[in-house]
Structure 1
Amino acid sequence: MRPSSPSPGPWPRLPSFLGAETQRLDLVIALSGLSLGLLMWAIGLNTTTFRLLDGAWVLVPMVVMAAMETQRRTRPSLALAVGTVAVIADQFTRGSLITVVMFTDVVYAAVLYGSPTAARRIPVRCVLISVAVTLGFLAWFRTPEAILIGVATALVCVAPSTTGVLVRNHREMASAERLRAEQTALLAEIDRTQAVTAERARMARELHDMVANHLSAIAIHSTAALSLDDPRTTRSALGVIRENSVAGLAEMRRLIGLLRDSSDDREPAAAPTLDGLEALVATARTNGLEVSLVDDRPTDGLRLPAPVELAAYRIVQESLTNALKHAAPGAVTVELHQGGRPPELTVTVTSPHGDRDGPRAPGSGAGLVGMRERATLLHGAFEAGPEPLPDAPGGRPMWRVHASLPIEAVGTSDQGGTTP
């Protein structure tokens, strides 16, 4: 079991980027400042010659300020509060320049490592204090030299706080840019993964639609040839098997060639269009289906967008494959209609639904998934299932495949081959 994390306590937890190395660095800064301050005190180098507290009293604010240097990152607010008291107390002794220098570092650290609220308020307060000190000493001394005291105060608190603001803003901007870069890289990886997944799904649909029809015919006719002891039937079945084997092999070679050829200067392979429906229906009739094609699209010389024609062709192809594999004996009807507002192409394939005699090929359901995906990619609708048709003999149920594909008619000059 993972141990529970300790409670944060009354003070903010040390940021993740402040490790043991950083704490040692703060300790080195404090000891260095204290050592230098002691050396200057030992040689008698002070900021003034007389104060209320003489002698070694100058070391008290110095030691306190050095102690606050060790807390400059972990507890910046506490360090600033205690450091302010120490630097004020230093003004009642002979004074030490090192104490003032360490105070400027504490002010800088309070803005840089403190809370966002403190980072906004400390520079404003420093400006107000500098103005107040300047006006106060002007009123007290009534000499222009009092302005120098205000300038010194500004150098001690306004300058380091302003520097802290600049550095903090720079770090926040760098962190935001780093986060933006990580998000961009993540989005790019997501886009790449989605593109690979979409391409794999597209290739799976193409492979299924191109080969399943031929393999289904081969499976059905080979089963018939094996189950019927009739030389004439066997010879006819072998002829159909050979024809579908050659066609399927050609489709496979074309698809493998597209996958292997990654050159940009190759000629694009022509995608199937609705002009090939007659040949598709003729092949289905050769495989033993009783198919009729009803195409009432307008003959106005306009071509449909290539994705719409490809989707419609593949839906008809897969529907005929399913009819060959699963449909009961009877007529299969393929209907295409174009029209409506907004314009759309509707594809409807009906076939007898029910048990069938003789061999049948197994199905996996991938064909229905592929047809639905093709319609969805074009923002169309797809439905498939059994339903009774009024004009069917005896109200016989029919398997109905219906797809609605939105279109935008384009001129014949826009048509061109695309890779399926």
Structure 2
Amino acid sequence: MTALPRPHRDDVLIAVAGFLGGLLLWSLGLDTRRGQGFDPRWLSLLPLAVMCGAELLRRTMPNTALAIGCAAMLADQFTDGNVATIALFTDLVYAAVLYGTPAAARRIPAVSMVATAAVTVTALVVFQDAQAVLLGLLFAVVTVAPAWTGVSVRTHRDAAEAARLRAEQTALLAEIDRTQAVTAERARMARELHDMVANHLSAIAIHSTAALSLDDPKTSREALGVIRENSVDGLAEMRRLIGLLRESGGETSTSAVPRLAGVDALLEQARTNGASSGLEFTLTDNRGENLPLPAPVELAAYRIIQESLTNALKHASPGGITVALGRDGQMLTVGVTSPYGDADGPGPRAPGSGAGLVGMRERVALLAGTFDSGPVTAADGARMWQVRAELPLDEGNGTA
């Protein structure tokens, strides 16, 4: 058997206060219809007690409480009556609208108005006196007034709850946006750090391996020179990035964005780093007119070339490495082709993590471009590794 829900503390207080108030009125002889009800006089306390019991259910079972209240109100008509019983009934009508189901909240006010009209018309027909309208007015005070008061309070309560839910949803969306922004910024910073430092560290790793493995003072001296140069350059770029983060909260200024005009210097550095591995580097620029490019596109193209050259230094077999720039309508094409490296081939190698390809793909995706990388077969049958990206040149691009 299911136990009844525990009544709310305020409902218990209302029930106790209502019963004590009704008992006080009864003891003072303040009945609503003194001498018109059944004897003995204390019978008027029974509907009062039932009404107080229904008050205990006004929040947890409001429809049941109202049904019990209606029965108690009907029984009260056969006794001398008590004002407290009527007052408690109006509270049950109010509570049924406020705490009941939405359907009950719609039906109860309508039913109360229909019942008021019916009682008024019946009183006029029975008593044939205009004063019977007062009975209808009294019935409206007991039923219609509390019902519509409940409707008003419920409407305001629902509006406040809806506003609270909207505020919570807005706060949740703001937190999601903040988290996504932080994640995107961290990913962007990770790409910048990887692209800026990986090239220098790869050269350091390759030449330090060469210096350790070759017992040749001249070769070791040249390798140490390259190591020092890349160490200084890498440290300078790290300091530059840290300065940008401190000054502008991570927003890269336009003047600090690498440009494609610096690709020549990038290739010269790659030639120096890859000379000992038998690598040769060539730039083919077929862009035509030297029109200005959107900064995000230029940064992405530069970083793709930089990372591709770094990967070539790590993995490519001896041979020629070609960097190709072109323009196809509103698309900037970037391609880097290198000999497909053999993991067991000659020359020192630096380990890779795979983050470079992921970073390049992310940069292109942010610009709504296309990216492809993998082994291809050249016209002479040689196996090559090709990186190719197409970047839209429209101004709607975001920051890469």
Select which of 15, 18, 22 maps to 1:37.
22
Going from structure 1 to structure 2, the CA distance change for 1:117 and 1:134 (only over 3 Å counts) comes to: same
The correspondence of residues 11-410 of structure 1 with structure 2, limited to 5 A, is 23-54=8-39, 55-262=41-248, 269-287=255-273, 288=275, 289-299=279-289, 302-340=291-329, 343-355=330-342, 356-389=345-378, 391-392=379-380, 395-408=381-394
- Write out per-residue CA displacement over residues 89-128 of structure 1, whole angstroms, 9 at most, x where no aligned residue: 2122221111100000111111111111111111110111
State the alpha-carbon separation in 2 of the partners of residues 346 and 59 from structure 1: 94
Q: 1:101 is matched by which residue type in structure 2?
A: A
Amino acid in the other structure paired with 1:374: R
Q: 1:217 & 1:374 partners in 2: Cα distance?
A: 24
Separation in 2 of the partners of 1:25 and 1:165?
Answer: 20
> Which amino acid in 2 is paired with 1:122?
I
Is the contact between residue 197 and residue 238 of structure 2 (CA under 8 Å) also seen in structure 1? yes
Contact 2:245 2:251 in 1 (8 A): no
The residue matched to 1:72 in structure 2 has which SS? Answer: coil
State the distance in 1 between where 2:255 and 2:182 align. 21
C-alpha RMSD of matched pairs (Å): 2.3
Q: Normalising by structure 1, report the TM-score.
A: 0.88
1:242-301 per-residue CA deviation (whole Å, 9 max, x = no partner) reads 2212111110111121223357999765200111111111111122231111111131x5
Give how far 1:375 is off.
0.8
Q: Give the length in aligned residue pairs.
A: 392
User: Amino acid of the residue matched to residue 218 of structure 2?
Assistant: R
Comparing 37-46 with 315-324, greater Cα deviation is found at 37-46
Give the whole-Å Cα distance in 2 for the aligned partners of 1:243 and 1:325. 18
CA–CA distance in structure 1, aligned partners of residues 70 and 181 of structure 2: 60
Query: Do the aligned partners of 1:385 and 1:401 also contact (CA within 8 Å) in 2?
Result: yes
Report the 3-state secondary structure (helix = DSSP H, G, I; strand = E; otherwise coil) of the residue aligned with 1:93.
coil
State percent identity of aligned pairs. 61
Query: How many angstroms apart in 2 are the aligned matches of 1:149 and 1:419?
Result: 77
One-letter amino acid matched to 1:43: L
Task: Give the SS at the match of 1:33.
Answer: helix
TM-superposition CA deviations, 1:173-203 (whole Å, max 9, x none): 2222222222221111111111111111111
Relative to structure 1, the CA distance from residue 311 to residue 200 in structure 2 (aligned partners, 3 Å threshold; closer, same or farther) is same
Q: For the residues of structure 2 that align with 1:231 and 1:265, how far apart are their CA atoms?
A: 45
What's the CA shift string for 1:19-76, capped at 9, x where partnerless?
Answer: x6x6232122112111111111112111123424242221221111111111111211
Conserved in 1, the CA contact under 8 Å of 2:260 and 2:301? Answer: yes
**Residue identity matched to 1:34:** F
Aligned counterparts of 1:419 and 1:86: Cα–Cα separation in 2? 74
| 1:124-167 deviation digits (Å, cap 9, x = unpaired) | 10111111111111222222211111111111011111111111
* Distance (whole Å) between structure 2 residues aligned to residue 123 and residue 174 of structure 1: 22
Q: Deviation at 1:216? A: 1.0
Q: Mark the CA change 1:264 to 1:396 in structure 2 (over 3 Å): closer, same or farther.
A: closer
